[in-house]
Structure 1
Amino acid sequence: MRFADIGLSDELLRALNEAGYDAPTPIQAAAIPQVQMMRDIIAIAQTGTGKTASFVLPMIDVLANGRARARMPRSLILEPTRELAAQVAENFEKYGKYHKLSMALLIGGVQMGDQVKALEKGVDVLIATPGRLMDLFERGKILLTGCEMLVIDEADRMLDMGFIPDIENICTKLPTTRQTLLFSATMPPPIKKLADKFLSNPKYIEVARPATANVNIEQFLVNVSQMKKRDVLRDLLRTETVSNAIIFCNRKTTVRELNTSLQRHGFRSGEIHGDIDQASRQKQLEAFKNGDIDLLVASDVAARGLDVKGVSHVFNFDAPWHPDDYVHRIGRTGRAGAKGKAFTFVTKADEEAIESIEKLIGNKIERLGKIEAPAEGEERGPAKRGRRTSSAKTKEMRSDRPEEAVEALEPVRAKTVAKPAREKKAPKAETVKPDPSNGEALGDDRWNGPMPGFLGVGFGTT
């Protein structure tokens, strides 16, 4: 099937062709015709399957006929994070360049006055995070009574971030005759309850089993002690064919320290986490997308918001605290049919989390190396220390696996390199799960940087 076969306009087909796309992904092929028929839909699809275009493309055609009115957006797209909202805006600019539609982006960290001016001119497409939208609504700066179409994207992420009450509140202020599209990677009970309440006879579309990882991603668990994580990471970065990679950590302090360490060892790396303002974060993302840096060290604030073509590897420097986060982290690679690899470092303390991940995805993940006892100073007591030879390290990576499995470990065998200068051991940080109040989990209304140029209001002419 080609895009030309599903009834898209010539203007859209032209934009798709210029972007290098000819055939729809499964979620696009299933969802686009339903949106065109003005059906409510529930779409369950993993990250990297092309779900954003599955609602952006038909929305552009649906909204092509009509006229925007001041402070009354014709359509509303709700996103849990600024990164996702910005990427949806990029999609509208890319695919809607031959349509005369206007767009506004409502996110925290940019001047509210500029956003109000855009709304007063009237917009066809409003892309917003729930917090900023409710803020402007309560100030009387926006009316939702003219909204013909609502998209709730990343619904399960909305649930994780505590936005469901806001979503319910927003839904009550929209016309009951609207078309509603709900997209989610999983369907937990609260999301099903939300759909039952606010969607009318929806078409259910599922292109992958909930909480499964992309089959294009090779997954590995790497058994390692906490003290040796940096050494093992550098070995993997040198021995794997890494064109670019995202490295996830659980804490902002770990992100900063690891990025500093990688730069000290000659790697081109950058960082992104909840303490970085919007302008700096956008600068890092652009550097990564443009190839100015090869490695991006990130906290989970970026797990669902990054859409970069050609990411070859994902490294979970810290095993994720929540099983769902594993699926979304590794989903940064293996996108749009490409192949990718994901390595997750596992210490003794992570075994319970790994069991939960494997239970969620329904598969056992291949392990590399035997489980080491924690090194001296770690939680579970001292371990033998001392310099290991290359052969000893290879033996450790082989573990007790049968002979036929040894070849599978070849890509991760460390090359013989000069022993690096010993790094200063970072102070042991108390393991604390993310607190939505500190900006690490929410990342929604706590930036104060300027608005990037590509997020300017509107495309085409009004």
Structure 2
Amino acid sequence: MTSLHDIPLNTLLLSATDKLGYTQATDVQQAAIPQALEGKDLLVSAQTGSGKTAAFLLPVLHRLLAIQSPYKVSRALILLPTRELAMQTQEHLQQLASFTHIKAGLIIGGESFKDQIAVLGKKPEVIIATPGRLVEHIQSDYDLSSIEILVLDEADRMLQMGFADDMKLIAERCNSKRQNLLFSATLDHEKLVRISEGFNEPVTIEVHSQKQDHANIVQQMVLADDRKHKEKLTFALIEEEQPAKAFVFCSNRVECEQVSSFLRYKKLKVSYIHGELNQSLRKKVMTELRQDRIQVLVATDLAARGLDIAGVDLVINFSVARSGDDYAHRIGRTGRADSNGKAVSLISALEWNKMSSIERYLKVRLERRVVKELKAEYTGPKKLKNSGKAAGKKKKKK
């Protein structure tokens, strides 16, 4: 494994990585940082938890230190899908830039627009933003022509959230001679081609595809009858596993709040997070989770992407993920940095085929698990197709 000191980074940045205890470059850092330092445009496929945030922050900071601007302008823009990921990235940047003069401005929804105008007016070297709010500033005549480096992190997630037009507009408003660094869990998304049209002969790097096995994560399934049964199973699993931290993933806001209420009734230290929660409450929840004042976080898929929470031992899929990619990102909350983790999916009769499709897509087989005294009446399909899906009754020909 390559040491970060073997990569020609500014000594002020290496002092910061030493202070943070980052000594060895991860695979994505080893592959991406040297190419980015050469000024090349990149298309990088890498999972959350692979060290990809530092893989773009370090070359961005290095460039800002190596090439001084004669004017006080914002020079780098980092675009991310969610407020939580943006705040997390700002915190990471502040740590890596702690020995430098470089400042970052945060432009996200849910915060005062007027205060953000003041932040942008100070011309921070780096702008960290979510697409929707930044477009609002552009529509109020904010100028991005000084941006020399554009980073698109979790690009596939931004596209899934419907930000394709916003991303395209933002890219068009940046300096046409900029460097582009795009990071995504997958490079297969059809709209990525449109987003990367303005890139200059980009280098493609693929590290830890989301389809690769999570070798250090035990993946299990527990059959369930209904929502009430799933609630009891969730509590029983947490009691059995005794995780330091656990994530419970639900399909929507209502389910998220219901499960959280049940676990709170059971005296667990629990909270929830979803897209309709206001910004101050979302900040409070994430702070409490990082400070170990919460053991269980119940969440919609908002929290599945990007959030870097250390020490998550257990992931429970209360409802089956919508896709194989979403499933991979959910369980990727655990088993990080070579630690071991466990992911348990609660499967009802109506969800069997969806889970079967995920298994086939990711080329995995979930091991069956039974929770004592809570065995489901549902025992799985009576007959299976070759695909693993339930075989239905053949319809009689008329």
| Bigger shift: residues 271-280 or 358-367 | 358-367
Offset of residue 393 of structure 1: 5.8
Aligned to 1:327: 328
Aligned to 2:10: 9
Aligned to 1:150: 150
Aligned to 1:125: 126
Measure, in 2, the Cα distance between the counterparts of 1:396 and 1:17. Answer: 55
| Bigger shift: residues 150-159 or 357-366 | 357-366
For structure 1, which runs of at least 5 residues remain unmatched after alignment? Answer: 371-389, 400-462
Measure, in 2, the Cα distance between the counterparts of 1:285 and 1:393. Answer: 32
Offset of residue 7 of structure 1: 1.4
Report the 3-state secondary structure (helix = DSSP H, G, I; strand = E; otherwise coil) of the residue aligned with 1:144: coil
Structure 2 CA distance for partners of 1:50 and 1:214, relative to 1, 3 Å: farther
Offset of residue 274 of structure 1: 2.2
Offset of residue 398 of structure 1: 11
Which amino acid is the alignment partner of residue 351 of structure 1?
W
Aligned to 2:395: none
Structure 2 CA distance for partners of 1:68 and 1:287, relative to 1, 3 Å: farther
Report the 3-state secondary structure (helix = DSSP H, G, I; strand = E; otherwise coil) of the residue aligned with 2:127: strand
Offset of residue 103 of structure 1: 1.1
Aligned to 1:291: 292
| Mapped pair 1:271 → 2:272 | yes
Structure 2 CA distance for partners of 1:196 and 1:13, relative to 1, 3 Å: closer
Offset of residue 267 of structure 1: 0.9
Q: What is the identity percentage for the equivalent residue pairs of Structure 1 and Structure 2?
A: 37
CA RMSD of aligned residues (A): 2.1
Structure 2 CA distance for partners of 1:394 and 1:356, relative to 1, 3 Å: closer
Which amino acid is the alignment partner of residue 92 of structure 1?
L
Measure, in 2, the Cα distance between the counterparts of 1:169 and 1:334. Answer: 37
Query: CA deviation digits over 1:342-367, x for unaligned, max 9?
Result: 11111111012112211221222222
Aligned to 1:438: none
Offset of residue 395 of structure 1: 11
Report the 3-state secondary structure (helix = DSSP H, G, I; strand = E; otherwise coil) of the residue aligned with 2:190: helix
- Note if contact 1:43-1:206 (Cα within 8 Å) is conserved in structure 2: yes
Offset of residue 168 of structure 1: 1.3
- Note if contact 2:80-2:130 (Cα within 8 Å) is conserved in structure 1: yes
| Mapped pair 1:95 → 2:96 | yes
Which amino acid is the alignment partner of residue 165 of structure 2?
P
Which amino acid is the alignment partner of residue 106 of structure 1?
I
Aligned length: 377
Aligned to 1:281: 282
Aligned to 2:61: 60
Structure 2 CA distance for partners of 1:150 and 1:68, relative to 1, 3 Å: farther
Measure, in 2, the Cα distance between the counterparts of 1:395 and 1:288. Answer: 32
Measure, in 2, the Cα distance between the counterparts of 1:271 and 1:135. Answer: 29
| Mapped pair 1:313 → 2:339 | no
TM-score, normalised to structure 2, is: 0.90
Measure, in 1, the Cα distance between the counterparts of 2:38 and 2:325. Answer: 32
Which amino acid is the alignment partner of residue 125 of structure 1?
V
Query: CA deviation digits over 1:376-412, x for unaligned, max 9?
Result: xxxxxxxxxxxxxx6x76899999xxxxxxxxxxxxx
Structure 2 CA distance for partners of 1:344 and 1:201, relative to 1, 3 Å: same
Measure, in 2, the Cα distance between the counterparts of 1:195 and 1:254. Answer: 34
Structure 2 CA distance for partners of 1:37 and 1:225, relative to 1, 3 Å: same
Report the 3-state secondary structure (helix = DSSP H, G, I; strand = E; otherwise coil) of the residue aligned with 1:337: coil
Alignment of 1:39-438 (within 5 A): 39-64=40-65, 65-67=67-69, 69=71, 72-140=73-141, 142-194=142-194, 196-226=196-226, 227-369=228-370
- Note if contact 2:210-2:328 (Cα within 8 Å) is conserved in structure 1: no
Measure, in 2, the Cα distance between the counterparts of 1:207 and 1:222. Answer: 31
Bigger RCO of structures 1 and 2 (CA < 8 A, at least 6 apart): 1
Which amino acid is the alignment partner of residue 268 of structure 2?
F
Which amino acid is the alignment partner of residue 85 of structure 1?
A
Report the 3-state secondary structure (helix = DSSP H, G, I; strand = E; otherwise coil) of the residue aligned with 1:321: coil
TM-score, normalised to structure 1, is: 0.78
Query: CA deviation digits over 1:78-103, x for unaligned, max 9?
Result: 10111111111011111111111121
Offset of residue 146 of structure 1: 1.2
Structure 2 CA distance for partners of 1:59 and 1:395, relative to 1, 3 Å: closer
- Note if contact 2:164-2:195 (Cα within 8 Å) is conserved in structure 1: no
Measure, in 2, the Cα distance between the counterparts of 1:213 and 1:164. Answer: 29
Measure, in 2, the Cα distance between the counterparts of 1:394 and 1:114. Answer: 54
Measure, in 2, the Cα distance between the counterparts of 1:130 and 1:395. Answer: 44
Aligned to 2:21: 20
- Note if contact 2:106-2:128 (Cα within 8 Å) is conserved in structure 1: yes
- Note if contact 1:48-1:334 (Cα within 8 Å) is conserved in structure 2: no
Which amino acid is the alignment partner of residue 156 of structure 1?
D
Offset of residue 189 of structure 1: 4.2
Report the 3-state secondary structure (helix = DSSP H, G, I; strand = E; otherwise coil) of the residue aligned with 1:122: coil
Measure, in 1, the Cα distance between the counterparts of 2:205 and 2:214. Answer: 17
Measure, in 2, the Cα distance between the counterparts of 1:155 and 1:68. Answer: 32
Measure, in 1, the Cα distance between the counterparts of 2:168 and 2:206. Answer: 24
